[in-house]
């Protein structure tokens, strides 16, 4: 009986340690892209079997206060469209009609800007550790790099979209390699790969993110980080409705 009790205790301690380690790995992986603030420019390419479209955007992100502003700068016909995120809420400004709409809960799972990302991806960008429990389940190699494979499951009562996530994180530098997104029925809905690693503003980061849609074969979205600066001062004015609706 004593041996059985001891074995259970050792197992629980080992499981707890592994879970804590997984949480730390996820935190360090997320911190690759985060600072107190970040300012940058990226290009987005949406690919479907019928067409492809490209956009260029500037963004201002305040991780400490969970707020962001994204502004389209190309193509010309979409330049000036903006998105404002404050916490889990989002607003979209359309320059052509000079109107601002708040993204309602019913639209959070819809495509963001015609891509394979959703409005919810942006709104809940900072809540992975808050909403999920993480466990290291194996070690695997991705594109020649040794990685931890981590499964993330929703915490009780967490208001999240995904039933399960699998993330591969590189052991050498904590950079993410692949993330898979599963629905509540265990079906793979999409997956994202990270590549083209470069050093930007003193940090080693993957500059290409590719999201593949498994529900819609042939659909994918590619993000290319062209410029990023961390921990710069950003005026509160940037995250205001006045700035959102300013015609530029």
Question: Do residues 44 and 113 lie in contact, with contact meaning Cβ atoms separated by under 8 Å?
Answer: yes
Length of the chain: 248
- Phi and psi angles of residue 151, each rounded to the nearest 5 degrees, phi first: -100, 135
CATH number of 6-244: 2.50.20.10
- Phi and psi angles of residue 127, each rounded to the nearest 5 degrees, phi first: -110, 15
From first CA to last CA, the distance across the chain in angstroms is 73
Residue 197 to residues 160, 173, 194, 207: CA-CA distances in angstroms?
Answer: 30, 11, 8, 6
pLDDT of residue 223: 96
Burial class (CB in 10 A: 0-12, 13-18, 19+), 1: exposed
Q: Span 28-53, mean pLDDT? A: 95
Q: Within its chain, how far is the Cα of 95 from the centroid? A: 26
Whole-angstrom Cα distance, residue 18 to residue 133? 11
Work out the percent of the chain whose per-residue pLDDT is above 70: 90
Residue 134 in tokens? 């993480």
Reported as a single tens digit per residue, the pLDDT across 94-130 is 999 999 999 998 888 889 999 999 888 877 665 688 8
Q: Hey, is 248 helix, strand or coil? A: coil
pLDDT confidence tier of residue 184, bands split at 50, 70 and 90: very high
Query: Does residue 75 have a cis peptide bond before it, meaning omega lies within 30 degrees of 0?
Result: yes
Give the closest residue to 83 by CA, choosing from 100, 97, 98, 66. Answer: 100
pLDDT of residue 203: 96
Whole-angstrom Cα distance, residue 202 to residue 88? 30
Q: Span 185-193, mean pLDDT? A: 97
Q: Span 230-246, mean pLDDT? A: 96
pLDDT confidence tier of residue 196, bands split at 50, 70 and 90: very high
Give the closest residue to 73 by CA, choosing from 110, 40, 24, 36. Answer: 40
pLDDT confidence tier of residue 68, bands split at 50, 70 and 90: very high
Q: Within its chain, how far is the Cα of 228 from the centroid? A: 16
pLDDT of residue 227: 97
Q: Span 58-62, mean pLDDT? A: 97
Q: Span 227-231, mean pLDDT? A: 97
Task: Tell me: pLDDT of 185 over 60.
Answer: yes
Whole-angstrom Cα distance, residue 4 to residue 114? 56
Reported as a single tens digit per residue, the pLDDT across 134-167 is 999 999 999 999 999 999 999 998 888 899 999 9
pTM above 0.85, yes or no: yes
Question: Do residues 174 and 32 lie in contact, with contact meaning Cβ atoms separated by under 8 Å?
Answer: yes
pLDDT confidence tier of residue 34, bands split at 50, 70 and 90: confident
Give the closest residue to 128 by CA, choosing from 14, 234, 239, 33. Answer: 33
Q: Within its chain, how far is the Cα of 161 from the centroid? A: 13
pLDDT of residue 127: 66
């Amino acid at each position: 009986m004593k041996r059985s009790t001891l074995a259970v205790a050792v197992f629980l301690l080992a499981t707890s340690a592994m879970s804590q380690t997984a949480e730390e790995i996820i935190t360090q992986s997320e911190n690759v892209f985060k600072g107190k603030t970040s300012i940058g420019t990226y290009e987005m390419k949406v690919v479907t079997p019928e067409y492809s479209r490209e956009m260029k955007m500037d963004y201002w992100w305040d991780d400490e206060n969970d707020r962001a502003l994204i502004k389209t700068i190309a193509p010309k016909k979409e330049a000036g469209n903006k998105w404002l995120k404050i916490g889990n809420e989002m607003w979209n400004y359309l320059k052509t009609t000079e109107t601002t709409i708040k993204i309602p809960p019913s639209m959070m799972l819809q495509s963001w800007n015609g891509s394979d990302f959703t409005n919810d991806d942006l709104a809940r960008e900072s809540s992975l550790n808050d909403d999920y429990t993480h466990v290291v389940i194996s070690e695997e190699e991705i594109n020649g790099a040794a990685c931890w494979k981590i499964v993330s499951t929703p915490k009780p009562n967490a208001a999240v979209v995904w039933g399960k996530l699998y993330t591969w994180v590189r052991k050498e530098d904590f950079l993410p390699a692949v993330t898979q997104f599963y629905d509540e029925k265990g079906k793979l809905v999409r997956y994202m790969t990270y590549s083209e690693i470069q050093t930007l503003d003193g940090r080693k980061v993957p500059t290409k993110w590719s999201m593949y849609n498994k529900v819609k074969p042939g659909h994918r979205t590619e993000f290319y980080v062209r410029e990023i600066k961390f921990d710069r001062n950003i005026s509160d004015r940037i995250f205001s409705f006045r700035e959102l609706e300013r015609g530029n």
